[in-house]
Structures are given as C-alpha cells and as structure tokens.
Structure 1
C-alpha cells in the first residue's frame, strides 16, 4: 500500500500549495487570534520556500527537543555505537521534572531496566523528561547533539540544556540532586519567591537558548523525512514513534482531515500568573497519496486557555492541509 502511494505521488509530480498568498493570509489571520506571539511555517518541498508567519523569529521549543535528541540517539545506532536493545538501568536519582508516571514506576521498583528504544518511545510518545535526560547522558551529553546539528549544517535551531536544568531555570531555580525525590522539585517551585519566578519567566522568553525559528524547524523536519540525517531504517523508526504521540491531541492532529496522518512532537511549558510561556506542536503531515508537508506552530507568552491555544494550532494545520488539497484537486 505504501509503495502504491509513493508511486502515485511520483507520477502526479511535485506537490505544492494551490495559492501560497492565500495560505499566507489565512495563517496570518489565525496567528492574530492569539493574545501571544505565534510563529508558524509550512513546507511542502525542500526546494520550495516555506509559507510562514514570524518564520525567522526565535521561539522556545520545550519538549520538541525530545524528537531531535532522539534523532541523535538513532544516529549513534546507525554508527554502531548503540543498539536499540541496549539496557540502561534507570534509578530514582535519575528522575527529572515533568510527567511522573515513569518516575513513579522507577521509585516503586528501585531500579528500572529500560531499552534505548523504550526510552525514546517514552520521551516522544508520553513526553517523559526522565527518559530523554537519561538518553542524553548515555550518548555523551549536549555536546553530541550540538555536533550532530553542526555537521548537518542545521541553523536557527538550538538545544542547550537538558530537562533538569531547563525546567529548574524556568522557575528561577538551580537543579539540585534532592529534587529527584518525589514531590521535592514541585515543592521547591511552589516555595520560590514570586518575584524570582517573574524574573525567570521574563528571562526565559528572551533567552536564545533552546529555541528554534519556525523556518528552521520545518527544514529540519523535511530533511529528516527525506532521509538526509539517518539511515532509512532509523528514519522510519523515528517517524513511526512520532506517529504514536499521545500529547496535544487538540493541536495539529485535531486539524487534520481524516485521510491524513501525522508524526509529531509537542512542547509545553508550565504557566505562571496565567501566562503560558510555550505551547508548540511540530511534525510531518502525510497526505493520502503519500506526499508530506512539514509544519511547525509555536505560541509564546499567551494567557489564553489551553483549549484556545490548541485550537489555534489545529486551525493552522487545517489551513495548510486545505491549501494542499486544493492544489491536488486542480492537478
């Protein structure tokens, strides 16, 4: 079935948006509905210019970094330095802030033997922070990620901190080993002086670290899907895991026509004084004929509800697929 779709896509010629100016207008209107700053880009082909709103401005990426780090992990697999079946024994002292389902399992068992593949799945599908920090340590740290991006001439995208440091600094704290214990990090955040958290939030929104432009993100996604970064097997593995993402069901996935599918990763910050610093979703949307469109939507510093922010992202996906479909119907 997949080969048939790919053949149909090849025979129909390169896909493109029916009316790029109209799509630009639609995305601009969607972005204007947010009280925060919205960046969005859509890219249908590597040799095309993306259709963007604030496409060259930097936005915090939060947990979007987890699929990028996973690409670096899979590169280590391609280079025979790791195997997907390698076991890492995750201990309570390895726990990071974020979703605590896996953390609670580790604490209950005292130690959890996880494969590289399981940790990747948990970090992407469930956005588990402990898993990605353990994987980062296993591959040699952030320097390995930065080397990967530099070697592939990826510009406009940065990953500078692990989840422990990023989430601590977001709240005006410095990570301490004691925070790995159940409830300790959350208690420290709650106890931090409000003025300290105010200052930390403002610094976070201005910080160039751990950011991407929407244009850089869709280029990364398209190059990944095209097989420029990893072997065919590893590319398929990563995209397959991203298709299973369960977070952000009201974001990009909610805007897709039923016949489309998506491989994506969300990113969401904590909120302070009603301000959601980061609400993101990025991914590869696949049309019924097998052709793909990369999309990245970032919302920074919004006081709208979670559902309102999700709806904006979904509307962007709906506008992009409609523009693509319109072109298909004319061809």
Structure 2
C-alpha cells in the first residue's frame, strides 16, 4: 500500500521518462551551443537510477535562450528554493516604494515557523527585525520565520504568486506559509511556539508513526501548491537576468545574497550562485532535494540551472550524489 500511495503521488510529479525531454528553445546568440547529446547521455541514466523518485532538470543559456530540460513541465515542491522568488518580490516592493529596507517588523507568536529558524529560536528575547535583515535571513539563511514575515508583509503567498504571473513567470507558485507547509508534510498541525527549536520539533515529529508520516509525505508530493516546474524556474532566472522582475541593481543584490561556490564538477573558474533545499525523510521514505541558481563561467557566460529531486527513497548521501552528478553533467555541457 505504501508503494501504491507513493507511486500515485509520483504520477502527479513526474511519471516515467517517456517524452521527458522538452523541445529546445533556441535563439541566435554569440555563445556556444549546449552539448545536448552529453546532457541526454548523462542525465537520463541518473533519473532512471533515482526511481521511484523523479528527477527534474533544466539549463538555459541566459544570452541565447537555448534550453534543455528533463521533466521540465512537471511540478516539484519548492521547499527552501521558494526563498528566491520571495526575495525577488521583496526587493521589487522596496524598489516600488511599498517597503523600506529599514522598516521594522515585529515577530509575534503566530509568526514562528519550524526549523531552521534562528529568528524563532531567539524569540521572545528578540522580536524586531528590519526588512533588510529578513531578506538576508530568508534567502541566505533559509530562515522559515523570515519567509513568513516577508510573505505576510507583502500581502500573503497569493500576492507573491500574482506578482510572478504578472511578470510572465507562470509556473512558480507560493500558496502557504512555511508554518503550515513544513508541519503538514510531517503529519502535524500548523506550527506552535512550544515546538520551536530543532530538538523540540524533532521530538514532536517522532511522536507520529512512520505510517502517518508516510501518508503526509505522499500527500505533500502530490500537492500542486508551493511548487515549480524546472521550466518555470528557468523562466524566473531569465526574467531576473533581463531586468523584467526587478532592476539590475536589485538582481545584483539578490544574487549577492544567494550562497556562491565553485561546486565540484563545474568548469574551472566558474561560480554557482544557488539555493539548495533538502527535506530529510525517515529512512526508506521519500524526500526532497533541490538546487537552483545561476552558473557564471570564467569567460562571463551565464546559465540558469535547476535540479529537482522529489520522492527519492535513496539515503541522503545518495540523493546528494545524484544532484551533484546532475550539476556536473550540466557543467560539462557548457565547455
């Protein structure tokens, strides 16, 4: 029954590998073409090995618009990657004069969200934070309470999604607060203040049976809310790069807030500004691991890259290896 439930959820997320490569979207440009044969050869076997999980992948040349995807039209849970469109929306509100970096928001008990959240951990000893600090905490620190404070101040998850749709980013959506999403996917009610802190929250999760957590995760994987397609995330980065979402100065600010590194397997001298999200699961139960960002090569070429891995029953190390090998394949395709 567990296998049936999991596979039912995965049918919504991804199904099989048939017809999973989307048509290439090409436009003229001065940059070299993607090595699509390499992508085909290297990434499809990784997707097959991740079954019953579903691997979603997309890469876009941000100059020419050339794109290659695997399961590019299928929806995957955003998890912490939601901080990227949220951060962009917050900067957009600042640029529009509807928010100010120095505006102070006060944390209430109802605003507290599950770990990781240094802001929740510090409450009630500290309750006041500037918008600037909250954007940093949400995007760089994956602070769930910072997410919720910003979303509420902007007008709610629906306001962020409406802003994205208005900017022609139609396949990325935010629907709920993190204090709702994270507990519900474990089988819990909305977050409570006495659950704050990693230890307390894990103890509450441990009070549920594996079957309860399995059922909650199956429902989470099948839920279209708070999801994105790989194609949608590529479009987000394209719009961000083109100045369609926020100004170029705002884009620079957002990208500087995203963690940057020279990830193993990527071309020498390249830097990857990216947001990673990992939702740990019980051994043998499905989890979520995402990585999305912009790869900048030594010669200045820039590529948006998105990797979503949902429903995998691999252990955490194997899931991380799948994502790392997918990113490495992407790096080899742009040499």
Q: Residues 92 and 154 from structure 1, CA distance in 2 versus in 1: closer, same or farther, beyond 3 angstroms?
A: same
Q: Which of residues 179, 184, 195 in structure 2 aligns to 1:164? A: 179
In the alignment, what sits opposite 2:167? 152
Does the 8 Å contact 2:62/2:241 carry over to 1? no
Note the C-alpha offset of 1:180. Answer: 5.2
Which residue number in structure 2 is paired with residue 17 of structure 1?
33
Aligned with 2:264: secondary structure?
Answer: helix
TM-score, normalized by length of structure 1?
0.84
Separation (CA, whole Å) in 1 of partners of 2:286 and 2:44: 21
Higher relative contact order (CA 8 A, sep 6+): 1
Q: Distance in 2 between the 1:235 and 1:148 partners?
A: 16
- The residue aligned with 1:115 is 130
* Separation of aligned partners in 2, 1:190 and 1:14: 55
Contact preservation (8 Å) 2:30, 2:64: no
What CA RMSD, in Å, does the superposition of the two structures yield over aligned residues? Answer: 2.3
How many residues are aligned here? 306
TM-score normalised according to structure 2 size: 0.84
The answer as to whether partners of 2:115 and 2:196 remain within 8 angstroms in 1 is no
Select the residue among 46, 49, 53 that pairs with 1:30.
46
- Counterpart selection for 1:173 from 175, 179, 188: 188
Contact 2:295–2:302 under 8 Å retained in 1: yes
> What is residue 293 of structure 1 aligned with on the other side?
303
Q: How many angstroms apart in 2 are the aligned matches of 1:93 and 1:134?
A: 10
Q: Which has the higher helix share?
A: 1
Q: Is this contact kept in 2: 1:55–1:215, CA < 8 A? A: yes
Per-residue deviation, residues 6-27 of structure 1 (Å, max 9, x unmatched): xxxxxxx532434323322222
Deviates more, 1:48-57 or 1:162-171: 48-57
User: What is the match of residue 141 of structure 1?
Assistant: 156
Q: 1:14 to 1:243 in 2, by over 3 A?
A: farther
Residue 64 (structure 1) aligned to one of 78, 81, 85: 81
SS at match of 2:99: coil
- SS of the residue corresponding to residue 305 of structure 2 reads strand
Contact 1:242 1:263 in 2 (8 A): yes
Partner SS for 1:71: helix
Structure 2 segments unaligned to the other structure (5+ residues):
1-28
Structure-2 separation of matches of 1:166 and 1:139: 18
Residue-by-residue CA offset, 1:103-138 (whole Å, 9 max, x unaligned): 32334xx22432212211111222111111111112
CA distance in 1, matches of 2:210, 2:239: 42
CA apart distance, 1:253:
2.8
Distance between the aligned counterparts of 1:145 and 1:222, measured in 2? 18
Matches of 1:176 and 1:316, distance apart in 2: 34
Contact kept, 8 Å, 1:262 with 1:283, in 2: the verdict is: yes
Deviation at 1:194, TM superposition (A): 3.6
**C-alpha deviations, 1:208-260, integer Å up to 9, x for none?**
1111111111121122122111012111100110145xxxx8xx933323401
| 2:212 corresponding residue in structure 1 | 196
**Is contact 1:178–1:184 with CA below 8 Å preserved after alignment?**
no
